[in-house]
Amino acid sequence: MLERVSLGQSRFNVPGISADPRGVAIGQSIALLFPSIDRVVAFFRAFSGEVSLGDVLAALHIFQVETPVRTRELIVLLPAQGSHFVDQGARIARLVGGATFTGTAKHFVLYRDDRSPLGYDSSAIERAECDFAVYGRDFSQTYRKVQELDFGALVKRLAPVPERQRAREPGEAPDPPPPLVWITVRSGLAAPVRGYLWRSGLQAGVAAVSRATDSAFADARTDWALDLALFRVSGAPERILRLFGRLPGAQVFVPCGQNVGIQRGWRHPFTLENCGGAFAGDRFYLFSGEDKRLIEVGSLPVFVPVDQLGAVTFDVDGGRGGPPAADARPLRPARDASFGLELRLLPAAVPPTAVAATIVPGSQLAWLKKLVYALPGALLSAYRVAITPDAAVLLCAQGVDGIPLGTFMEALSPNLFVARGYRFFPAVAPDVLFAHIGGNAQNLYFFLPGQGTPFYVPAEAFVPLERRALASIAVDEAPVAPVPPPLGAPELVNEPVGSFSLWTHRLGDPTAGGEPGPGAGPGPGAAA
C-alpha cells in the first residue's frame, strides 16, 4: 500500500529512499518497467534525443524479468542523477506506455506524479526471494532476472530508416552539405574515384578497410569479409555528394561521432551522437541504410591524402637505352640517334573533358548493334562511324557518352585523339606531334595505351550512323497483269435507213433493217 510523501519527511519504509534537496523521494536508481522490447526502443529513441547517454551507459542495464506466474517484462535501470533527470525519463516512459519506479538495490517504489508531487513510500515490504520488487499504487510485484540485454548490441542491431524530407517555405534556401563525409566504394572503383577527387580539387584521404567478421549485423547470408576503399572528403559540394549517392558500389556516410557514421539520407532510430559510449573506441562503424546492415571495421582506418597516391614513373636504366616499362611502350622510334626521347602514353590526372570518340572492339559489336535500336533519331544522325577490320570507330563533336562501349577517346586537336585519362610524355604540343608523325589533314589519328604505334582512319570513311547501321533490304517486284493489245481503228459506215426507220425496228433484233418487213406494224398512213 503506497503512502504519499509529505514535505520534510525524512524516514521511509522502502530501503534506500531519501529526500533530495527539493524534498522529492528518490533512490540511487530508477527502474523503468516496459511490457515489450519495442517499448524500450521507443523510449530510448526519444530519450537519446534529449539526454546524452555517455555518462550513464556504465550504469545502464536492460533486464528481461519474469513474474511468479511466468509472464515476462523488461526493466531498464538508470542511475538517478537528480530529480530533474528522473523527471525527463518518467515523462518519456509514461508517453510510450511504461512506468517509472525509484529505489536502491532491489526495492523500487512508484516515482512521483500529479497525485503526489513529492513521491511515494510503501507501508509493506516484500520478503520473498526475488531480484526486483516494485510497489505501485494498487499492486506490488516481484520479478526474477531471466537475461540481461546489451545496450550496445541493441543500438547496432537497429536498421536505419529513410530520413523524412522537411517541407520548406517558398524561397527558403536548402540545407548546406555536411562539411565532412565518408565515402565507401568497392575496391575496383578506388583508382578512378581517387583520381576524380584529386582533379576536383577536394581535400580527401583514402584508406583500405575490411568489414570485421564478428560484425553485429553479419548473418548467414552475408558473413564474409568485404574489402572497401574508404574516402574522407572535406568540403564536397552538393552535386558531388549526389553523384556518389547514385553511383553503384558507392555510399556516402555522414559522421555521427569520431568513429560512427550513417548513410546520407537515412537516420538511426536512436540519436547516435548521444550514444557514443555504446561503440568501442578502437573500431569504426558505418550504418548502411541501403544494405540494412552495419559495416564494422576491426580497427581505425589510417587515411592517406589522395594527392600522394598519383602515378610515379622512374627511369631505372639511367638513360642507357634499356627497354621501356610495360605501361610506357614507345609509340614511335626516335629519329635522332644522338638525342631522341621515346614518346610515352601514361595515365595522368587531368581535368575531365568531353568524350569525342570511342573505339568499340569487335567483341562488342554485337552489343553496339543492340544499342543502336534504343538510340533516338537525333543521335543516329549526329554520330559518325567508320568500320575497320578490328573495331568500329564512332565520332561526335558533342560527345559519345550515349554509347557506353569501347575505349573513350579525347580530342587533342581536330585530327589527334588520345585515350581518356592519358597524356603524352614529354608533354609536346598537339601540332608538334602531328607534324612529327607526318600527319595528313585528311586522316584522323588515334593513340591507344598498350599499342606501339597509333593508327589512322581517313576522314572520308566516316558516315552517319543511321546510314551505316542499316543492312541491305531486299525488294521484290510485284507481278502485274498484262495489258491487252489495242484494237484496230474503227470504221464509220453511213447507210441509208429510209423514212421512219425506228417505227419498223424490232426490239431486240439486231438484224432489223430500215425497210418494213413482214408483219410490220401499220405505218403512219394506216393510223390516219
Write down the pLDDT at residue 350. 67
Looking at the domain assignment, is residue 489 inside a domain? Answer: no
Per-chain mean pLDDT for the chain: 82
C-alpha cell, 340: 631522341
Burial class for 179, CB neighbours closer than 10 Å (0-12, 13-18, 19+): exposed
The CATH number that applies at residue 214 is 3.30.70
Write down the pLDDT at residue 326. 41
| Residue closest to 126 by CA, chosen among 68, 199, 200, 52 | 68
Judge whether residue 122 has pLDDT over 90: yes
Looking at the domain assignment, is residue 265 inside a domain? Answer: yes
Helix, strand or coil, per DSSP, at residue 234: strand
| Residue closest to 55 by CA, chosen among 20, 27, 75, 82 | 82
220 and 93 within one domain: no
Judge whether residue 88 has pLDDT over 80: yes
pLDDT digits (tens, 9 = 90+) for 331-364: 444 444 445 677 888 887 666 677 889 998 888 8
Confidence of residue 135 (pLDDT cuts 50, 70, 90): very high
Write down the pLDDT at residue 436. 83
10 and 105 within one domain: yes
- Of 399 and 262, the one with more pLDDT: 262
Tell which of 256, 287, 307 closes a domain: 307
d(Cα 287, Cα 216) in Å, to the nearest integer? 11
Looking at the domain assignment, is residue 512 inside a domain? Answer: no
Write down the pLDDT at residue 233. 95
Please give the residue range of the domain that contains residue 41: 2-149
Looking at the domain assignment, is residue 451 inside a domain? Answer: yes
Domain count, the chain: 3
Confidence of residue 508 (pLDDT cuts 50, 70, 90): low
Tell which of 307, 336, 361 closes a domain: 307
86 and 7 within one domain: yes
| Residue closest to 71 by CA, chosen among 148, 154, 146, 150 | 146
- Segment 125-136 shows an average pLDDT of 92
Write down the pLDDT at residue 503. 67
DSSP assignment letter at 420: T
69-97 exposure pattern, b = at least 16 Cβ within 10 A, e = fewer? eeeebbbbbbebeebebbeebbebbeebe
286 and 350 within one domain: no
129 and 17 within one domain: yes
Secondary element (H or E) of residue 433: helix 430-436
What is the Cα 137 distance to its own chain's centre?
A: 54
145 and 11 within one domain: yes
Judge whether residue 140 has pLDDT over 80: yes
Looking at the domain assignment, is residue 80 inside a domain? Answer: yes
Judge whether residue 324 has pLDDT over 50: no
pLDDT digits (tens, 9 = 90+) for 461-487: 898 887 877 777 788 888 888 887 777
pLDDT digits (tens, 9 = 90+) for 195-252: 889 888 889 999 988 776 545 544 434 444 467 899 999 999 999 999 999 998 899 9
183 and 140 within one domain: no
Judge whether residue 168 has pLDDT over 90: no
Looking at the domain assignment, is residue 524 inside a domain? Answer: no
460 and 351 within one domain: yes
By the 8 A CB rule, do 231 and 185 touch? yes
Q: Across 142-151, 333-342, 360-369, which has the greatest mean pLDDT?
A: 142-151
Judge whether residue 402 has pLDDT over 80: no
Report if pTM > 0.85. no
Judge whether residue 171 has pLDDT over 70: yes
Name 29's bridge partners.
79, 103
Write down the pLDDT at residue 47. 94
136 and 84 within one domain: yes
- Segment 124-138 shows an average pLDDT of 91
Write down the pLDDT at residue 318. 43
325, 383, 523 from 397: Cα distances, Å: 34, 9, 100
243 and 195 within one domain: yes
What is the Cα 132 distance to its own chain's centre?
A: 50
Looking at the domain assignment, is residue 520 inside a domain? Answer: no
Looking at the domain assignment, is residue 57 inside a domain? Answer: yes
7 and 109 within one domain: yes
446 and 379 within one domain: yes
Q: Are strands 416-419 and 443-447 parallel, antiparallel or unpaired?
A: parallel
